Amino acid sequence: MTNGKRERSQRTRAAILQAARERFAADGFERTTIRAVAADAEIDPSMVMRYFGSKRGLFAAAADFDLALPDLSRVPSDELGAAVVDHFLTRWEGEPTDDSLRVLLASAATNAAAAAQMQEIFRAQLAPVVAAAGPHDPPTAATRAGLVATQMLGLALCRYVLRLSPVVDLDRDAVVHWLGPVIQRYLTEPSG
């Protein structure tokens, strides 16, 4: 066949990872079973162990993602809030859909390792961008990043996980209209 051994290996590895992302996002860490992931990927459960070592290893691989935040120092300072909200919506609802955030959100609530991973992502990815965007006031930068996290993760929680209908029904423009000024304030308002 045209399939080399290496190519075949990479393909099944990718299939496992995709199935794992969907399962973890839908069911969380505990309820996701290796057997179910393997069934979705149409391979044997033992293959998951071969490729990822353990369930934790599989989760770490599935939940490792990049917020891909843009450089906010190039955005006009009065459009920062709208830009951030718009970026997150694109990240979560664009094509191709990346379930990683939902994976973490659904698992971090009940799994210490997942919570730690979430902390690390926001510390390493969100905090520096916020620091670069806002007033040059290092002590408050971490606080500002934390506040942004409360609103954006709260949105993700209500919209994608809890599926509260008034929040699900908001269209993109409405979300930007309502949350944009909030994020703007968290980023730029003097700490008083």
Nearer to a second copy, 12 or 188 (CB): 188
**Which of 4, 76, 94, 139 is close enough to bind DNA by CB under 7 A?**
4
165 makes contact, choosing from a second copy, DNA, none, with CB < 5 to 8 Å by partner type, with: a second copy
Please state, in angstroms and rounded to a whole number, the distance separating the CA atoms of residues 140 and 8: 50
Binding site for a second copy (CB under 8 A): 27-31, 105-110, 115, 118-119, 122, 142-143, 145-147, 149-155, 157-159, 161-167, 169-170, 174, 177-179, 181-182, 185-186, 192
Within a 13 Å sphere around the CA of 117, how many CA atoms are in the beta-carbon half?
24
Please state, in angstroms and rounded to a whole number, the distance separating the CA atoms of residues 100 and 89: 14
Please state, in angstroms and rounded to a whole number, the distance separating the CA atoms of residues 185 and 188: 5
50 makes contact, choosing from DNA, a second copy, none, with CB < 5 to 8 Å by partner type, with: DNA
Nearer to DNA, 2 or 165 (CB): 2
44 makes contact, choosing from a second copy, DNA, none, with CB < 5 to 8 Å by partner type, with: DNA
Contact 129, 84 (CB under 8 A): no
Is residue 113 near DNA by the rule CB under 7 A? no
Nearer to a second copy, 47 or 82 (CB): 82
Contact 101, 156 (CB under 8 A): yes
Write out the two tokens for 151. 């609103």
Region from 6-14, 62-70, 105-113, 166-174 binding DNA, contact rule CB under 7 A: 6-14
Q: How far is the CB of 106 from a second copy (least distance, A)?
A: 5
142 makes contact, choosing from a second copy, DNA, none, with CB < 5 to 8 Å by partner type, with: a second copy
Residues 6+ apart with CB under 8 A from 187: 80, 81, 84, 130, 133, 134, 144, 148
Ordered DSSP codes for 62-85 = HH--------GGGS-GGGHHHHHH
Q: Which of residues 15-44 bind DNA (CB under 7 A)?
A: 32-36, 42-44
